[in-house]
């Protein structure tokens, strides 16, 4: 056999091996059913959001329950409402950087739904 013919036969054999190997893998993939996404992840996100204190609607007591928020600070937060973003507490100099860092994961600034 010539070298050229040997390479051609080898290429055909390799191509056939890949064809049969991928066909079997396709059957296996089709047989495997996707697992349903558990709803717990969505519930956890909802719970986390529910645990957060909304700067635009929280009572003075709810704000004071946050770490490092005094009565005076809670009054200042309420007086400067509404907030578009929670980091306005820093930019408006209501909280220091350290105070904000302590509570930023526990607060949110929700916007009221537009009434039509």
Give Cβ neighbours of residue 64 (< 8 Å, ≥ 6 apart).
Answer: 70, 71, 74
Where residue 81 falls (left for φ over 0; alpha for ψ -120 to 50; beta otherwise) is beta
> Model's pTM, two decimal places?
0.55
- Give the start-to-end residue ranges of the domains of the chain: 1-34, 40-108
* Mean pLDDT taken over the chain: 82
Q: Is the pLDDT of residue 25 over 70?
A: no
Range 40-108 has CATH code 1.10.10.60: no
Quick one: pLDDT at residue 39?
64
């Amino acid at each position: 056999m010539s070298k050229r013919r040997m390479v051609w036969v080898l290429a055909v054999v390799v191509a056939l091996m890949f064809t049969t190997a991928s066909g079997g893998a396709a059957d296996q993939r089709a047989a495997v059913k996707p697992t349903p996404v558990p709803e717990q992840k969505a519930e956890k996100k909802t719970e986390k959001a529910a645990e957060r204190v909304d700067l635009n609607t929280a009572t003075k007591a709810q704000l004071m329950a946050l770490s490092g928020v005094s009565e005076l600070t809670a009054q200042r937060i309420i007086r400067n409402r509404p907030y578009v973003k929670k980091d306005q507490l820093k930019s408006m100099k209501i909280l220091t950087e350290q105070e904000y860092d302590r509570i930023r994961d526990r607060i949110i600034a929700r916007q009221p739904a537009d009434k039509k």
